[in-house]
Amino acid sequence: MTTGQTERTGQDGPGPATGEGTARALTTLLTCAMAFSMMQLFLLGALGPRLVADLGVSPTVLGLTTTVGFATAAVLSPVGGRVVDRVGPRRCLVVLLAVAAVALALIGTAPGSGVLLAAVALGGLPQALANPATNKAILAVVPPGRRASVTGMKQSGVQWGAFAAGLPLAALAGLTGWRGAVWTAAGAAAVAAVWAARALPADPSAKSTPAVWVPRGMTAWLMVFSVLLGCGIASVNTYLSLYGTERLGLGPTSAGALVAVLGVSGIAGRLGWSKVAGRPDRAVWLPGSLAAGAVAAALLLAASSLARPLVWVGALATRMLAVAANAVSMVLIMQRAAAGRAGQDSALVSAGFFAGFAVGPPLFGLLAEAGRYNGGWLLVAAEFAGAAVVALLWSARERRSVVRS
C-alpha cells in the first residue's frame, strides 16, 4: 500500500459523500478561511504607503510587521497541526476566523507601531491553523478524485485575500481612510466565523495522535523548499507596492493595484497547477520547475526600473509560478501523508513557509531603506533559485527510488 493509499483509507477520510451544492459551499468556506488567515498582512502591504504617512512607520518597521506575524505562525504551526489532528477542523476553523477578526480590528485601532506589531502577532494564530485545518476538512469530506482541484481552489483563497486588499479595500481606504478599510475586513471575518460554526459538519470525538516535531522524508525536503520560497514571496508581497510608489512613480491606488495583480494571477496559478498536480507523477516535479520559473519573474521586477511596464509582467509571473508552487506542496502532502498525520505534516511544511516569510522581508527591507531595490529583487531571484535546487534534488531522489523499486 502506498502512502497516498494509506492516507485515503486512514483516519483522515474520506467521510460521508457530499452533494454538489454542499461541496461548493464547503469549498467557498475553506477559500474564505484561507483568505482571512493572511488578510492582515496583505492589507499592510496594500496600505503600506498610507501607513507610512499616517503612523510614521519606516520601511524597515513595515517589513518587521511581516516578520512578527510569520515568526509567530512558524512557532505555532507544529502545535497547531497537532491540535487540528486531535480536535478536528471545524473547531479550529471557527477559532481561526474569530481570531482573524480580532486581529484586524486591533490593526484598525492601532495608534502606532507597538499595537500594530501586537495585532500582527495575534494574526499568526490563524495562519498557523489555516493549512492543517483546511487540508483536514478536505480529507474528511472530499472524495480522492476531487481533492487536488478543491485544494487548489481553497489555496487560491490567499490570493483572493490579496486581490481584496489591493483593489476593493484599497479603493475603500481612499474614501474612508485606511482604518475604515481594515474595520470592514474585520467585520467580514466575524461573519465568516459564524458561517463556519453553522455550516461545517461536526468534528469527531477528540483523539490522541502521536506528536511529530522533527520533519522526515518528503516533509523535510518540502519544509526547506518552503523556507526559501517563502523568503522570496514575502518580500514581493511586502515591498512591491512601496517600490511602485518610491521608484516607479505610481500613485497609492495604482500601487495597490499591483497587489491586486498578485492576487488575480495567484488564483489562476494555484487553480491551474494544483489541477496538474492531481497526477502524482507530475506533482513530484512541479515545485522545482515552478520555482525555477519564478527566478525569471524576479529578474523582470529588477529590470522594471529600466522599463516600468515590466513590473506588471513580473508581478503576474511571480504569483503564477512561485505561489502556485506552495499550493502544489500542499497537494503532495495530501497525496502522501501517513494516516492521521495530514494536519501535522501540513503544519510542518507551513512552518517552513512562515519562517521564510519572517526572514525574507527584513533582509529586503535593509536594501530598500538604502534605496537598493534592484539588489532586493536579485536577492529574491537567488531565494527562488535555492528553492528550485532543493525541490529538483528531492524529485530526482524520488525518481531514483521508484526506479530501484
Longest dimension (CA), the chain: 63
Q: What's the CA gap between 375 and 384, in Å, rounded?
A: 14
- Tell me what pLDDT residue 8 has: 42
Q: What's the CA gap between 403 and 405, in Å, rounded?
A: 5
Q: What's the CA gap between 160 and 305, in Å, rounded?
A: 28
- Tell me what pLDDT residue 211 has: 57
- Tell me what pLDDT residue 359 has: 87
Q: Where are the alpha helices (DSSP H) in 88-216?
A: 89-109, 113-122, 124-141, 147-166, 168-176, 178-199
Residue 202 has a CB neighbour count (10 Å cut-off) of 8
- Tell me what pLDDT residue 338 has: 65
Which run of H or of E encompasses 367? helix 342-369
- Tell me what pLDDT residue 213 has: 57
Cell for 248? 516607479
pTM: 0.76
Of the candidates 115, 116, 124, 119, which has an alpha carbon nearest to the alpha carbon of residue 71? 124
Q: Give the type of residue at 175.
A: L
Show pLDDT as tens, one digit a residue, over the chain (405 residues): 334 443 443 445 544 445 566 678 889 999 999 999 989 888 887 887 787 778 877 777 776 787 788 889 888 988 888 888 888 889 999 999 999 999 999 999 988 888 888 999 999 999 999 999 998 888 878 888 788 888 888 988 887 887 788 788 888 988 999 899 999 999 999 999 999 998 888 887 666 555 555 677 888 999 999 999 999 998 987 788 888 888 888 877 777 677 667 667 777 888 888 888 877 778 889 999 999 999 999 999 999 989 988 998 998 898 889 988 988 998 888 887 666 677 788 888 988 998 898 888 889 988 988 889 999 999 999 999 999 999 999 999 887 775 555
